[in-house]
Structure 1
Amino acid sequence: MAMTFDPFSELDRLTGALLGTAQGPRFMPVDLYRDGDRYILNADMPGMDPDSVDIDMDGQLLTIRARRTAATDGGMNWLVRERPSGTYLRQFSIGEGIDAEAIAAHYDNGVLSLLLPVSERAKPRKIEVQTSAPQTQHVLNS
């Protein structure tokens, strides 16, 4: 079984354990793309309890927060502990072109998917060019 060793992350872990300091919110990788009249955001959240996921909109700020709790058993003797626990957080500034009332979320197989529909006023539209009534020209006969 191959294992990699990152001295910097190990040093951070040991420092936190010795000083008892809690680390801040952890990074959550996401993919964001547009598909027709909606944006789709997929966030990797493996091992998260879906009940710990909190999504809220405050004005134009979309916040995704989740918590992974570490297994704690007094009789455990950890040999390797690389899966971080704690709070995960991502925030996105959402433009006015999103219909905030129609945002939907789904969690499946460790991936949180948000569907962000484009608002009607932000969708592309054609503008009809108006013309005035054709003017008739009078021909003068001489």
Structure 2
Amino acid sequence: MANDLTNRQNDLMDLGTGRFFNRLAHSFFDDAFQFPEFDDTMRTDIKESDQAYHATIDLPGIDKKNLQIDYQNDVLTVSAKNEQNTDERDKNDQLVRRERHYGQFSRQYQLPNVDQAKITAKYDDGVLKITLPKSANATKHQIEIQ
């Protein structure tokens, strides 16, 4: 795993603009300038039982007021925005560096036969837990294979 992280930082064939500047900033500012890539956001686990779907989504550093959850047409949509402001000052309280980062992202999950009125969500310590109870009138139809 440590080898993968090293290779990701030193991959000379990866000339994408974002990664190029991340590597440049990494070498100049060490790790203080690194922010998570898009793939590192909204890691999700969804478990299904006979009664409900249970979604657990990791959203570290996101404030609860910046989250939005919506369920329409059998699709759960989770949206988040993240604003980070960093000020560094020297011993004389003079501004040395100021960084402002803003990001907005969302994910959608296809979860059919959910009773919309009974959906519940809880956000605690960077983890969003959503329970989507299945509709009572949902029927399973077994298809016979010939």
**For residues 9-39 of structure 1, what are the alpha-carbon distances to aligned partners after superposition, in whole Å with 9 as ceiling and x for unaligned?**
6315479xxxxxxxxxx44110000244111
In the other structure, the counterpart of 1:132 is none
Structure possessing the higher relative contact order (Cα contacts under 8 Å, 6 or more residues apart): 1
Cα distance change, pair 36–69 in 1 and its aligned pair in 2 (3 A): same
Deviation at 1:85, TM superposition (A): 5.0
Higher strand share: 2
Deviation at 1:102, TM superposition (A): 1.0
Paired AA for residue 60 in structure 1:
D
Structure 2, unmatched stretches of 5+, are: 25-37, 89-94, 141-146
Structure 1, unmatched stretches of 5+, are: 16-25, 125-142
Cα distance change, pair 122–85 in 1 and its aligned pair in 2 (3 A): same
CA-atom RMSD in angstroms: 3.3
User: For this pair of structures, how many residues does the alignment match?
Assistant: 109
Higher helix share: 2
Instruction: Please list every run of at least 4 consecutive aligned residues from structure 1 whose deviation after the TM superposition is greater than 6 angstroms.
Output: none
Determine what percentage of the aligned residue pairs are the same residue. Answer: 29
SS in 2 for 1:69: strand
Paired AA for residue 46 in structure 2:
L
The question of 1:40 aligning with 2:54 is answered yes
In the other structure, the counterpart of 1:6 is 9
Cα distance change, pair 123–72 in 1 and its aligned pair in 2 (3 A): same
TM-score by length of 2: 0.60
TM-score by length of 1: 0.62
Paired AA for residue 122 in structure 2:
H
The 8 Å contact of residues 37 and 123 in structure 1, kept in 2 or not, is answered as no
